Structure 1
Amino acid sequence: MGHALCACARGSFSIEGQRYVLVQRLGEGGFSYVDLVEGLQDGRFYALKRILCHDQEDRREALHEVEMHRLFDHPNILRLQAHCMVEKGSKHEAWLLLPFCQRGTLWSEVEMLRDKGTFLPEERILPILLGICRGLQAIHDKGYAHRDLKPTNVLLDEEERPVLMDLGSMNQARIEVEGSRQALAVQDWAAQRCTISYRAPELFTVESHCVIDERTDIWSLGCVLYCMMFGEGPYDMIFQKGDSVALAVQNPLRVPPSSRYSAALGQLMSSMLAVNPQERPHISRLLEQLEALQPAPSGQDTTRI
C-alpha cells in the first residue's frame, strides 16, 4: 500500500512517490469528500477521494473499493491511479487518487439542459448508453455487479465518453438467498448502499429463497436512460414527495408520451424496467439491441414515440 506524507503548510502530499498539491474542494458526502489536486511532476489534475474510516469495518470497505478498481483497465470504468491509508489520530482516511473529468457527471449534463428547457437528443443518448453498457459488461463478465448505478455515478470525459465510478457498492453478481435471516441482511445492505430511487424492486423486499443477480444493474440502467430522456429519474419525484418508492417500483412504469425519441428506444427502456428481474435482458443482449439502434442513413424514416 502506498504511503502519504502531508505537508499542511504547502497543502502538498505524496502518494506512491509522486507529489501533489491541493487545489480546491470538489464535493463531499456523509463519509467521504473529493478534492481537486494537481500533480507536481506531470502538471495534470486529479480527483482525490478521501474516505473517512472510523473503525476496522470502514477500513475494510474502503479497501474493498480499491480492490474493485484494481480489477479493471477499461475505458468506461474510472481507473485508480494510486491509493494509500492515512492515519488521523485514532482514525484513518483512505485516499484514492482518480482521474479528473472536468465535464462532471451525467447528472450535471442532464440538469444543465433541463434548466434550459431542453433534453438530450437521441443521437447523444445512444453513444452514452452504449458506453455505460460496455462498462457494465466488463463488470458483469468478472462476476460482479455495480449495485449503485445512477447519473451521479457516471462521469463524462472531454469526448463525452461515459465512465463508471464509485465502485464501493460492488459485490458478487449472483447472491443466493437461503432463509429469512440472509434475506433481511441483503435487504438491509441494499438500503444502505443502493440509492433508493434507482434500486431494483427485488432489493426492497428480498424473498427468503431467491437469487439476486446482476440484473439489478439493468433496472438501474433503465432509470438512468429515463433520466437522460426526461430530465429526472422515474422515481426521483416520488422520493422527494415522501411517497413510497418501494411500493411504486412494484407496478409497471408509465412512460410519458414524447415525440423526441424512437419507439425502439422507449421499448428498450421498458425492457430494462421490467418488475420481474427474470424478464430483464442481460447486458450482452442490450448491447446487441443498442448496436441495432445506431443512427439510420440520412433520408431513412424512423418511427418516434
Structure 2
Amino acid sequence: MKKEWQSMGCVTSKVPDIVGEGYHLKVRKTVAVGGSAKIMEVDPGGGKKPMIVKKMVAFSKREEERILLEIDLYKKLENNEFVIDLMAHIVDDITHYLLFDKYSQNFLEYIEELKIGGEVDELKHLKYFSGIVSAIEQLHGFEFAHLDIKPANILKSGDTIKMIDFGSATKMPIEIKTSADHHRHKEDAEELCSMMYRAPELFNCEIGSTLTTAVDVWALGVCLYEFLYLENPFNKIYEQGGSIALATQSPHMIKWNENRHISEKSINLIKSILIVDPNQRPTIGELRAKVDNLLANFDTPEEAENPEITDEEFDLGMRETT
C-alpha cells in the first residue's frame, strides 16, 4: 500500500539552509513526511512569502531516475495553468530539493472544511474538476499516467487549483506478459498509487493484460465523486474492514444521493467513468469533452428518464399504427 503523507503540524526544524540556483532558503518547519520525500516550508528571504520544498534523496539509480523524470514532467507541463510551477531544482550530492510556491491548502483539507459546515457548489466543483482533467490530458499526451491522482495532490488557493506530485508518473502502456511482470507491477502499484483511488486492474495486474492511462481516468472518477459528495465512494467499505480491491469490481454498489442532492448529469458522468473494464472507460480526451458538455449545458433542465405513458397517449399511438 502506498505510504500516505503524514502531516507534521508546526514542527520546527534545525536543518541547514538550502542554497543553490540563486536561492538561500531557511527551513522554517517540516510540513509532511511521505514514503520517499519530506515537505518543508522555507523562507526565501527578502521579505518574500514562504515557499515549499520537496526534499528527496536518491539512494539508488532507480530513485535518481524517478526524481529526474518528475522534474522533466514539470518542465513539459510548465505552460499548463493547472499544474504547479517548479521554481527551482537544487542538488546537493544525492539530495534533491524541488522548490514551489506555497498554497493555502490542498483539496482534501478543503473538503474536510466543507464537511464541518459548508455547502457543495456543484458547478464550481465541476469547474475545478475540469481544470484537473486538462492537466492530466496534457500529461497523457506525453504517454505518462500520473498514477496518484487524489484530492491531497491538488493544491487550492481561492479559486486557483494546481495539480502536484508527479513522482509516481509512469510511462504507459505496460504489458503484463509474465509472472515476473505481474509481481513487479503489482508491487509498483501498491507503492505508487494510493489504494482508495487505485483502478481495478492495478489490484490484479493479470498476465496477458495491458495497463494504460485509463488508470488515471478511474482515479479522476473517484475524485469527482469526492468533490461532490465530500467522501470517497469506498470509505464505508474501508472503515468496515472490507476489501477495496473487491469493491472496485462492483462500482454499481456505490451509493448516490443518500445525504446530498447531486444532479443526475453529474451522477451519470461519474458512472460513465467508474467502469471496471478499462477499455470501456472514456479516454482523457473523451472525458474532457463530456465535462465541457456538462458545463455548457449545466442549467439546461434534465430530461426525465423513461417517462410514464398515459392511457390516452397509448390509445392514440395504437390507433396511429393501425
Normalised by the shorter chain, which TM-score bucket? 0.7 to 0.9
> Separation in 2 of the partners of 1:57 and 1:248?
33
How far residue 296 of structure 1 moved from its aligned partner, in angstroms, is 5.1
| 2:44 corresponds to 1:44 | no
In the alignment, what sits opposite 2:142?
A: 142
**Shift in Å at residue 285 of structure 1?**
1.1
SS in 1 for 2:24: strand
C-alpha change, 1:77 and 1:22, in structure 2 (3 Å) is same
Provide closer, same or farther for how the CA distance between residues 80 and 297 of structure 1 changes in structure 2, counting only shifts above 3 A. closer
Which of residues 80, 99, 102 in structure 1 aligns to 2:101? 99
Give, in angstroms, the shift of residue 42 of structure 1: 7.0
Residue matched to 2:127: 127
Is 2:79 the counterpart of 1:80? no
**1:38 Cα deviation (Å)?**
2.6
Per-residue Cα deviation, 1:22-54 (whole angstroms, up to 9, x for no partner): 233322223322111232257133211112444
Which one-letter code corresponds to 1:275 in the other structure? V
Say whether 1:274 aligns with 2:279.
no
Q: TM-score normalized by structure 2? A: 0.82
Deviation per residue, 1:280-300 (Å, 9 max, x gap): 0011111111112226587x5
Aligned amino acid, residue 34 of structure 1: I
Give the stretch that moved more between structures: 145-154 or 168-177. 168-177
1:4 is aligned to none
Please, what is the CA RMSD of the aligned residues? 2.4
- Asked if the contact 2:265–2:302 (Cα under 8 Å) also holds between the matched residues in 1, the reply is no
8 Å CA contact retained: 1:187, 1:206: yes
Q: Which moved more, 1:11-20 or 1:181-190?
A: 11-20
Counterpart of 1:237 in structure 2 is 236
Rounded Cα–Cα distance in structure 1 between residues aligned with 2:17 and 2:297: 52
Partner Cα separation in structure 2 for residue 42 and residue 131 of structure 1: 32
Partner of 2:110: 109
Question: Partner of 1:292 in structure 2?
Answer: 293
Letter paired with 1:152:
A
What are structure 2's unaligned runs of at least 5 residues? 1-12, 306-322
Query: Partners of 1:152 and 1:296 in 2: how far apart?
Result: 29
Could you tell me whether the CA contact under 8 Å between 1:119 and 1:231 is conserved in 2?
no
- Give 1:98's aligned amino acid: F
Worse overlay, 289-298 or 24-33: 289-298
Deviates more, 1:289-298 or 1:228-237: 289-298
Q: Is the 8 A contact 1:222 1:272 kept in 2?
A: yes
**Structure 1 position 78, deviation (Å):** 1.7
> Partners of 2:46 and 2:58 in 1: how far apart?
29
Matches within 5 A, 1:167-186: 167-186=166-185
Shift in Å at residue 143 of structure 1?
1.2
Superposed, 1:146-165 pairs within 5 Å as: 146-158=146-158, 160-165=159-164
Contact 2:145 2:171 in 1 (8 A): yes
Change (3 A) 1:280 1:85: same
What 5-or-longer segments of structure 1 have no aligned partner? 1-7
- What corresponds to 2:36 in structure 1? 31
Pair 1:221–1:10, CA change in 2 (3 A): closer
> Are 1:262 and 2:268 matched, yes or no?
no
Alignment CA distance shift 1:61-1:142 (3 Å) = closer
Distance 1:237 1:297, change over 3 A: closer
| Deviation readout 1:73-112 (Å, 9 max, x if unpaired) | 111112211112324xxxx43211112111x111111111
Is the partner of 2:190 in helix, strand or coil? helix
Q: Is the aligned partner of 1:63 residue 2:68?
A: yes
Counterpart position of 1:221: 220
| Contact 1:81-1:98 within 8 A present in 2 as well | yes
Identity value in percent: 24
Say if 2:133 and 2:284, in contact at 8 Å, map to a contact too. yes
The residue type equivalent to 2:230 in the other structure is: G
2:19–2:90 Cα contact (<8 Å) kept: no
CA contact (8 A) 1:137 1:283 kept: yes
Structure 1 residue 231: Cα displacement: 1.5
Q: Distance in 2 between matches of 1:153 and 1:10?
A: 25
- Answer with 1 or 2: which has the greater Rg: 2
SS at match of 1:155: strand
Is the Cα contact below 8 Å between 2:103 and 2:155 reproduced in 1? yes
Whole-Å Cα distance in 2 between the matches of residues 201 and 119 of structure 1?
31
Alignment of 1:192-203 (within 5 A): 192-203=191-202
Distance 1:10 1:61, change over 3 A: closer
Q: Which has the higher mean CA deviation after the structures are superposed, 163-172 or 40-49?
A: 40-49
Mapped partners of 1:72, 1:190: distance in 2: 23
TM score, norm. by length of structure 1: 0.87
Give the aligned length.
290
